[in-house]
Amino acid sequence: MSVEVGIIMGSQSDWPTMKRAADILDELGVPYEAKIVSAHRTPDRLWSYGKEAAGRGLKVIIAGAGGAAHLPGMMASKTRVPVIGVPVQTRALSGVDSLYSIVQMPKGFPVATMAIGEAGAANAGLMAAGILATADPALAERLDAWREALSASIPDEPSDD
Protein backbone atom coordinates (compact mmCIF):
# COMPACT_ATOMS: atom_id res chain seq x y z
CA MET A 1 0.00 0.00 0.00
CA SER A 2 1.27 3.49 -0.75
CA VAL A 3 2.08 5.94 2.01
CA GLU A 4 -1.02 7.99 2.82
CA VAL A 5 0.41 10.71 5.09
CA GLY A 6 3.00 13.21 4.01
CA ILE A 7 4.80 15.28 6.64
CA ILE A 8 6.48 18.27 5.05
CA MET A 9 8.39 21.12 6.64
CA GLY A 10 10.16 24.26 5.54
CA SER A 11 13.53 23.47 7.06
CA GLN A 12 15.62 20.89 8.85
CA SER A 13 15.22 23.19 11.89
CA ASP A 14 11.49 22.34 11.92
CA TRP A 15 12.12 18.61 12.36
CA PRO A 16 12.36 18.57 16.20
CA THR A 17 8.83 19.99 16.22
CA MET A 18 7.44 17.98 13.31
CA LYS A 19 8.90 14.77 14.71
CA ARG A 20 6.10 14.93 17.30
CA ALA A 21 3.63 14.26 14.49
CA ALA A 22 5.81 11.41 13.23
CA ASP A 23 6.07 9.94 16.75
CA ILE A 24 2.27 9.80 17.05
CA LEU A 25 1.93 8.17 13.65
CA ASP A 26 4.58 5.60 14.69
CA GLU A 27 2.64 4.88 17.87
CA LEU A 28 -0.53 4.32 15.87
CA GLY A 29 1.13 2.26 13.15
CA VAL A 30 0.43 4.75 10.38
CA PRO A 31 3.08 4.84 7.62
CA TYR A 32 4.24 8.29 6.53
CA GLU A 33 6.94 10.05 4.60
CA ALA A 34 8.83 13.10 5.87
CA LYS A 35 10.30 15.69 3.47
CA ILE A 36 11.82 19.14 3.54
CA VAL A 37 9.80 21.26 1.13
CA SER A 38 10.30 25.00 1.48
CA ALA A 39 7.89 27.51 -0.03
CA HIS A 40 10.70 30.04 -0.36
CA ARG A 41 13.90 28.06 -0.78
CA THR A 42 12.59 25.18 -2.91
CA PRO A 43 9.43 26.45 -4.62
CA ASP A 44 9.76 23.97 -7.51
CA ARG A 45 9.86 21.10 -5.01
CA LEU A 46 6.70 22.46 -3.39
CA TRP A 47 4.99 22.66 -6.78
CA SER A 48 5.90 19.08 -7.76
CA TYR A 49 4.91 17.71 -4.37
CA GLY A 50 1.50 19.36 -4.53
CA LYS A 51 0.94 18.41 -8.16
CA GLU A 52 1.70 14.74 -7.53
CA ALA A 53 0.20 14.35 -4.02
CA ALA A 54 -3.27 13.05 -4.91
CA GLY A 55 -2.02 10.85 -7.74
CA ARG A 56 0.57 9.24 -5.44
CA GLY A 57 -2.22 8.24 -3.03
CA LEU A 58 -1.55 10.74 -0.25
CA LYS A 59 -4.71 11.22 1.84
CA VAL A 60 -3.46 13.88 4.28
CA ILE A 61 -0.56 16.31 4.28
CA ILE A 62 0.83 17.70 7.54
CA ALA A 63 2.75 20.87 6.75
CA GLY A 64 4.84 22.71 9.33
CA ALA A 65 6.69 25.98 8.94
CA GLY A 66 7.82 28.97 10.97
CA GLY A 67 7.98 32.72 10.49
CA ALA A 68 6.60 33.73 7.09
CA ALA A 69 5.03 30.29 7.01
CA HIS A 70 3.61 30.04 3.50
CA LEU A 71 4.15 26.30 3.02
CA PRO A 72 0.80 24.97 4.30
CA GLY A 73 -1.25 27.54 2.42
CA MET A 74 0.68 27.19 -0.83
CA MET A 75 0.37 23.42 -0.59
CA ALA A 76 -3.38 23.77 -0.06
CA SER A 77 -3.54 25.92 -3.19
CA LYS A 78 -1.84 23.20 -5.24
CA THR A 79 -3.65 20.04 -4.08
CA ARG A 80 -7.11 18.99 -2.93
CA VAL A 81 -5.48 16.60 -0.44
CA PRO A 82 -6.41 18.00 3.01
CA VAL A 83 -3.59 20.03 4.57
CA ILE A 84 -3.08 20.23 8.32
CA GLY A 85 -0.89 23.22 9.21
CA VAL A 86 1.52 23.34 12.12
CA PRO A 87 2.84 26.77 13.17
CA VAL A 88 6.42 26.18 14.28
CA GLN A 89 7.49 28.21 17.31
CA THR A 90 9.95 30.93 16.36
CA ARG A 91 12.48 32.81 18.50
CA ALA A 92 11.59 36.30 17.31
CA LEU A 93 7.81 36.20 17.72
CA SER A 94 7.19 32.93 19.57
CA GLY A 95 5.28 31.40 16.67
CA VAL A 96 2.48 33.96 16.56
CA ASP A 97 3.94 34.98 13.19
CA SER A 98 3.74 31.35 12.02
CA LEU A 99 0.18 30.99 13.33
CA TYR A 100 -1.10 34.10 11.61
CA SER A 101 0.67 33.15 8.38
CA ILE A 102 -1.04 29.76 8.36
CA VAL A 103 -4.48 30.33 9.80
CA GLN A 104 -5.83 33.24 7.73
CA MET A 105 -6.48 31.46 4.45
CA PRO A 106 -8.84 33.01 1.91
CA LYS A 107 -12.11 31.21 1.15
CA GLY A 108 -11.52 28.27 -1.16
CA PHE A 109 -8.20 26.94 0.11
CA PRO A 110 -8.53 25.70 3.69
CA VAL A 111 -5.71 24.73 6.02
CA ALA A 112 -6.69 22.96 9.25
CA THR A 113 -4.46 24.93 11.58
CA MET A 114 -3.15 23.40 14.81
CA ALA A 115 -1.71 25.02 17.92
CA ILE A 116 1.79 26.53 17.90
CA GLY A 117 4.69 24.15 18.44
CA GLU A 118 5.05 20.57 19.61
CA ALA A 119 1.48 20.14 20.91
CA GLY A 120 0.21 21.30 17.54
CA ALA A 121 2.47 18.85 15.72
CA ALA A 122 1.34 15.95 17.92
CA ASN A 123 -2.27 16.93 17.36
CA ALA A 124 -1.63 17.07 13.62
CA GLY A 125 -0.56 13.42 13.81
CA LEU A 126 -3.72 12.57 15.73
CA MET A 127 -5.87 14.54 13.29
CA ALA A 128 -4.31 12.74 10.32
CA ALA A 129 -4.90 9.39 12.01
CA GLY A 130 -8.50 10.37 12.76
CA ILE A 131 -9.11 11.25 9.12
CA LEU A 132 -7.67 7.93 7.91
CA ALA A 133 -9.57 6.06 10.63
CA THR A 134 -12.89 7.05 9.05
CA ALA A 135 -12.13 4.44 6.38
CA ASP A 136 -9.89 2.06 8.37
CA PRO A 137 -11.63 0.19 11.23
CA ALA A 138 -8.39 -1.34 12.55
CA LEU A 139 -6.79 2.10 12.82
CA ALA A 140 -10.00 3.42 14.44
CA GLU A 141 -9.61 0.77 17.15
CA ARG A 142 -5.96 1.68 17.72
CA LEU A 143 -6.85 5.37 17.95
CA ASP A 144 -9.66 4.68 20.42
CA ALA A 145 -7.24 2.63 22.55
CA TRP A 146 -4.63 5.43 22.39
CA ARG A 147 -7.20 7.97 23.58
CA GLU A 148 -8.42 5.71 26.37
CA ALA A 149 -4.85 5.11 27.55
CA LEU A 150 -4.24 8.85 27.68
CA SER A 151 -7.39 9.39 29.73
CA ALA A 152 -6.44 6.53 32.06
CA SER A 153 -2.99 8.07 32.63
CA ILE A 154 -4.47 11.24 34.15
CA PRO A 155 -4.52 11.03 37.96
CA ASP A 156 -7.63 11.93 39.93
CA GLU A 157 -5.74 14.22 42.25
CA PRO A 158 -2.62 16.40 42.03
CA SER A 159 0.54 15.36 43.89
CA ASP A 160 3.54 17.27 45.24
CA ASP A 161 6.05 15.03 43.41
Does 147 carry a binding-site annotation?
no
Residues within the interface to ligand RP5 (CB under 6 A): 10-11, 13-14, 38, 40, 65-67, 88
C-alpha distances (whole Å) from 82 to each of 54, 61, 73, 94, 96 are 10, 6, 11, 26, 23
Q: Could you write out the DSSP letters of every residue in 109-151?
A: S--EE--SSHHHHHHHHHHHHHHHHTT-HHHHHHHHHHHHHHH
Tell me whether residue 10 or residue 73 sits nearer to ligand RP5 (CB atom): 10
| Type and span of the H or E element at 23 | helix 15-27
Q: Smallest distance, Å, CB 86 to ligand RP5?
A: 10
Tell me whether residue 43 or residue 110 sits nearer to ligand RP5 (CB atom): 43
Q: Smallest distance, Å, CB 17 to ligand RP5?
A: 8
Q: Smallest distance, Å, CB 71 to ligand RP5?
A: 7
Q: Please give the annotated binding residues for substrate, written as ranges.
A: 11, 14, 41
Q: Please give the annotated binding residues, written as ranges.
A: 11, 14, 41
